[in-house]
A and B are shown apart, each in its own frame.
Chain A
Amino acid sequence: MNAPFYKFGAFGDEASLVVAFVIGIGFGFFLERAGFGSAKKLTSQFYLDDLAVFKVMFTAIVTAMLGVFYLSWLGIMDLSLVDLVTTNLWPQIAGGLLLGFGFVIGGYCPGTSLVAAVTGRIDGMVFVLGAMAGMFAFGEAFPLLKGFYDSGDFGRLTLPQAFHLPYGLVVFLVVVMAVGGFMGAEWVERRFAPPAAER
């Protein structure tokens, strides 16, 4: 058992920044490959004729989830050392809704807007400026929002803990859900695809 390497002191903070840059390259590369530097491609998800957002996201979640699960099952990785953002249910529900509104209005999410901006999309650059303005506004209003921001606090909480189910069973259920979702997505795309002449 020696993963996560950083948590076991395999390298220090300075070296972790190099790791960050390398991992970031992979992240940005695959976002762009998937077409996520394009607001039109991303928002097609919400008009049902191209569900790449769902497919890419859930394939990535399932891939990483299975990797993390099997590495910890084999005793190679200590899951308890993995950073988890605390669950604060109410602000996460409200924030999720705002993010969803922002997604279909602005055409991007923060990560994809960076890829859009660096590949020349002017709307992506403007979106990044908007996100900065929003974060500034949030920071200025933070004294007023702090109560809500800290509400619904469940601490470090995973789905297996929340539903009192074994970790492996939840992993299995997510895989089943994803595969069902992929089959559904292929069907929905065929149903809502524009006629061939328009493509």
Chain B
Amino acid sequence: MSAVPDAAPAVARPESRAPVRAAAPYSNPYLAGVGLGLVLLAAYVVMGRGLGASGAVTSFVSWALSLVSPAHAKSNEFFTEYLEGGIGHPLKTWLVFEVLGVLAGGFISGALAGRLSRTVEKGPRISVAGRLGFAFAGGALMGIGAKLARGCTSGQALSGGAVLNAGSWAFMMMVFAGAYALAGLMRRQWR
């Protein structure tokens, strides 16, 4: 965001720009980190478990599949485990309710900061269609990787990291290694 176009109208009539509220700057990363860490600590103290994200999405996928093709879902060991994981219903799980909270919390923070906007996050050198294609492909890789690793950045790296889980630390180092390995190839998408 360049300072030049902003400066001119501000001199003329600052109030006229008020309805188009500029997005607030992001929090200091160390403060946000302490906040996130205290939420994680609360999960451990109150529940004896960490945070998560991908598990809830898998519950949803398994449940959706069981609606489309109940017999097929029940014949598969992986989906069955998620279908039987809930308290009487596949979607009545701790992680599904936690993720509903994540959606609410993210929305509240975004709304308070004026950061709700229907956009596509991308660099200037890639088309919207290209970016969305990469978003889908990256999501798919992440879905497979998270299941293989028994958790994602939330459940493994962050939560497992804090309780010194050996597998979580190995996982976390590989996430950074994998991302840096492909960062050069992906530069056109972001920069």
Asked if B165 and A115 sit within 8 Å, CB to CB, the answer is no
Which among B30, B45, B97, B175 is the interface contact of A59 at CB below 8 angstroms? Answer: B30
Are the CB atoms of A22 and B166 closer together than 8 Å? no
Q: Tell me, rounded to whole Å, the shortest Cβ–Cβ distance linking B181 to chain A.
A: 7
**A78-114 Cβ-contact flags toward B at 8 Å (1 or 0):** 0101111111110111111111111111111111111
Minimum CB–CB distance for B55 against chain A, Å? 9
- Asked if A93 and B174 sit within 8 Å, CB to CB, the answer is yes
**A96 with B173: CB separation less than 8 A:** yes
Once the chains are docked, how many angstroms separate the CA of A6 from the CA of B156?
21
- Beta-carbon contact of A96 and B60 below 8 Å: no
Give the shortest distance, in Å, between B182 (CB) and chain A (any CB): 5
- Inter-chain CA distance A146–B148, complex, in Å, is 9
Q: Which of B76, B97, B98, B167 lies in contact with A157, CB distance below 8 A?
A: B167
Asked if B138 and A121 sit within 8 Å, CB to CB, the answer is no
| Shortest distance from the beta carbon of A81 to any chain B beta carbon, whole Å | 5
Q: A176 at the A/B interface (Cβ < 8 Å)?
A: no
Question: A188 within 8 Å of B by Cβ?
Answer: no
Q: Please name all residues of chain A whose beta carbon is closer than 8 Å to the beta carbon of B145 when the two chains form the complex.
A: 94-102, 134
Cβ–Cβ contact B102 & A114, under 8 A: yes
Question: Given the interface contacts A91-B149, A101-B182, A113-B139, does A13 sit within 8 Å of B102 by beta carbon?
Answer: no
Judging by beta carbons under 8 Å apart, are B33 and A110 in contact?
Answer: no
Complex: A47 Cα to B170 Cα, angstroms:
22
The answer to whether A195 has its CB under 8 Å from any CB of chain B is no
* B10 contact set on A, CB distance < 8 A: none
A interface residues, tally (CB under 8 Å): 130
Chain A nearest CB: distance from B87 CB in Å? 5
Report 16 cross-chain contacts, Cβ distance below 8 Å, ordered by A residue: A20-B47, A20-B96, A28-B101, A28-B103, A32-B110, A39-B135, A56-B36, A92-B174, A96-B173, A104-B178, A109-B152, A110-B53, A111-B153, A118-B106, A130-B138, A132-B143
Tell me the A residues contacting B by CB distance below 8 Å. Answer: 3-7, 13-14, 16-35, 37-41, 43-47, 52, 55-65, 67-68, 71, 77, 79, 81-89, 91-116, 118-124, 126-140, 142-143, 145-146, 148-149, 154, 157-162, 167, 170-171, 174, 182, 199
Q: Which of B48, B134, B172 has the most CB of A within 10 A?
A: B48
Kindly supply a per-residue 1/0 record for chain B positions 10-35, scoring 1 wherever the CB is within 8 Å of any chain A CB and 0 otherwise.
Answer: 00000000000000001101101111
Given A38-B121, A134-B140, A135-B144: A57 touches B46 (CB 8 Å cut-off): no
Q: Which of B48, B49, B137, B187 contacts A130, CB < 8 Å?
A: B137
Inter-chain contact A55/B33, CB cutoff 8 Å: yes
Residue-wise, chain B 83-111 has the 8 Å CB interface mask toward A (1 for contact) of: 00001000010111111111111111110
Find the B residue at minimum CB distance from A97.
B178
> Which residues of chain B (118-147) have a CB below 8 Å from chain A?
118-123, 131-132, 134-147
Given A86-B150, A87-B165, A105-B36 contact (CB < 8 Å): no
Set of chain A residues within 8 Å of B157, measured between Cβ atoms: 57
Q: A23 to B148, alpha carbons, bound, how many Å?
A: 26
Q: Which one of B37, B107, B151 contacts A60 once the chains associate, using CB atoms below 8 Å?
A: B37
Residue from the list A137, A149, A158 in contact with B165, Cβ < 8 A = A158
Decide if B179 is an interface residue (CB 8 Å cutoff): yes
| Pairwise interchain contact A115-B164, C-beta atoms closer than 8 A | no
